[in-house]
């Protein structure tokens, strides 16, 4: 949804584009630090699925639903009441501040369903089902696209005025609520039916898995009502995993937040260019992350079934695929260097600034592709303590590199050089961990 909003709002002007960039920096920070609802759930439930522990799988999925709802409520309150102070932390230009605070206060209303979507993705991936979330997210994005076009630019025939950037915020909130509720409905159906539709045993399933699933007392509609209430003993275990992933993501986002803050300090054009570059980065990351998501689910499942060698085989193959896909993305970006930025803006100053970082953006597709896969593999292996400790140290290094790059370079290109060095360091650390045996449990 962010990529489409950037393309549409970018044609309203550089101030609106910079506003979207500042607002999305904060939204991405808050939503991404809570990504443990997705990644932690996938890692945990895929192991349960591989081991045939269907009863625990269902209980843990439901308890994470309670956690997602509470955190979504808190996020809504924080963003709604403190949007302006948060934007002031970014040191955004005055013309961005008032517009951005209004945009954020509206987007805050999508906090709860936004986390339901994250959790729903995690649950389905843990169940080795990627088709259902893909269909829901695709439908949600199509709805958001239609609403954004109407609400941003208006529809005079129907008497709908052009709400500009405010219209984009409302379009996203509406689409997010539709997507979140749809996820809840499909997750409920999936949990009731887990194991019930498995007629045979797949070649990679461990012996007895299907029989264990079929014997579960939770199959079909036989879910006890007490399962749906919050249970602290289960939440405590899930929160332990969540804590490690939360600290990992906080450290990562702190380094990236530093980059956005430095970009804002260089003025509206730099902040707008950073938004364009970051949306292209995010778009490619989401596509490349498909391999990481597959790695999370498959490694968790195979380790749960006691097949460590097969887990390594899967991981190595995914890394090779990631390297090939990243190379294709790099070449594609370079071939479309003149075209891609113009999709988002026609402002000459913004285009010039985007061009200064474009080769870095393109070149990083190759190492990023392998890094994202490795990250997913280790999360799937539930190697949370290493992930947490290494990322806290790397995050501090990333903050320093990004700050130094922007300070010494004195422009957006320096910031992106710092981000590039940060990502390359992460790749080295994660690669060494995967080549060892410390993640096998």
- Give the pLDDT confidence of 288-331 residue by residue, as tens digits: 888 888 888 889 889 888 899 999 999 999 999 999 999 999 99
Give Cβ neighbours of residue 395 (< 8 Å, ≥ 6 apart).
250, 251, 252, 254, 255
Two tokens, residue 409: 């370079």
Residue 274's nearest CA partner among 193, 203, 345, 170 is 345
The H-assigned helical ranges of 108-231 are 111-126, 131-153, 165-193, 209-215
66: exposed, middle or buried (C-beta count within 10 Å: 0-12, 13-18, 19+)?
Answer: middle
b/e burial code for range 236-262 (CB count within 10 A of at least 16 → b): eebbebbebbbbbbbbbbbbbbbbbbb
Each of the 441 residues of the chain gets a pLDDT tens digit; together they read 667 888 889 888 888 988 998 898 889 888 888 888 888 888 788 888 888 888 888 888 888 999 999 999 999 999 999 999 999 988 888 889 999 999 999 999 999 999 999 999 999 988 888 889 989 999 999 999 999 999 999 998 888 999 999 999 999 999 999 999 999 999 988 888 775 544 344 434 444 444 444 444 444 444 444 456 777 777 777 777 678 888 888 898 899 889 988 998 898 899 899 989 998 998 888 888 888 888 888 898 898 888 999 999 999 999 999 999 999 999 999 999 999 999 888 899 999 999 999 999 999 999 999 999 999 999 888 898 899 999 999 999 999 999 999 999 889 999 999 999 999 999 999 999 999 999 987
Write out pLDDT tens, residues 40-57. Answer: 888 788 888 888 888 888
What is the phi/psi pair of residue 160, to 5°? -95, 120
b/e burial code for range 104-122 (CB count within 10 A of at least 16 → b): bbbbbbbbbbbbbbbbbbb
Strand-pairing partners, residue 160, are 155
Q: Answer whether 0.85 is exceeded by the pTM.
A: no
Query: Helix or strand or coil: residue 194?
Result: coil
How many secondary structure helices (H) and strands (E) does the chain include?
17, 0
């Amino acid at each position: 949804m962010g990529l489409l909003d950037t393309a549409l709002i970018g044609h309203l002007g550089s101030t609106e584009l910079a506003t979207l960039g500042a607002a999305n920096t904060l939204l991405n920070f808050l939503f991404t630090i809570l990504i443990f609802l997705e990644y932690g759930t996938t890692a945990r439930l895929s192991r349960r699925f591989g081991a045939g522990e269907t009863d625990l799988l269902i209980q843990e999925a439901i308890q994470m639903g309670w956690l997602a709802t509470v955190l979504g409520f808190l996020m809504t309150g924080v963003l709604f009441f403190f949007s302006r102070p948060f934007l002031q932390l970014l040191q955004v230009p005055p013309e961005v501040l008032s517009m951005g605070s209004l945009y954020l206060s509206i987007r805050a209303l999508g906090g709860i369903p936004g986390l339901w979507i994250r959790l729903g993705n995690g649950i389905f991936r843990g169940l080795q089902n990627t088709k259902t979330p893909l269909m829901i997210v695709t439908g949600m994005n199509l709805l958001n696209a239609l609403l954004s076009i109407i609400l941003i630019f208006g529809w005079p025939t129907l008497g709908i005025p052009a709400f500009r950037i405010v219209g984009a915020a409302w379009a996203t909130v509406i689409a997010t609520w539709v997507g979140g509720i749809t996820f809840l409905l499909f997750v409920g159906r999936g949990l009731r039916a887990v194991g019930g539709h498995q007629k045979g045993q797949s070649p990679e399933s461990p012996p007895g898995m299907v029989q264990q699933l079929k014997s579960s007392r939770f199959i079909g509609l036989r879910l006890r009502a007490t399962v749906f209430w919050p249970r602290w003993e289960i939440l405590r275990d899930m929160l332990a995993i969540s804590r490690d992933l939360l600290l990992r993501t906080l450290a990562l986002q702190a380094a990236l937040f530093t980059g956005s803050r430095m970009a804002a300090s260089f003025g509206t054009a730099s902040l707008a260019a950073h938004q364009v570059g970051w949306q292209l980065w995010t778009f490619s990351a989401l596509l490349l992350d498909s391999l990481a998501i597959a790695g999370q689910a498959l490694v968790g499942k195979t380790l749960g079934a006691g097949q460590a060698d097969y887990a390594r085989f899967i991981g190595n193959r995914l890394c090779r695929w990631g390297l090939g896909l990243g190379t294709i993305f790099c070449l594609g970006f370079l071939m479309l260097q003149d075209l891609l930025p113009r999709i988002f803006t026609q402002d000459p100053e913004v285009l010039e600034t985007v061009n200064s970082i474009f080769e870095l953006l393109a070149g990083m597709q190759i190492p990023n592709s392998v890094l994202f896969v490795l990250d997913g593999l280790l999360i799937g292996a539930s190697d949370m303590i290493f992930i947490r400790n290494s990322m806290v140290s790397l995050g501090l290094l990333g903050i320093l590199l990004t700050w130094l790059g922007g300070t010494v370079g004195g422009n957006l290109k320096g910031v992106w050089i710092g981000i590039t060095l940060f990502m390359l360091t992460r790749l080295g650390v994660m690669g060494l961990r995967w080549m060892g045996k410390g993640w096998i449990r």
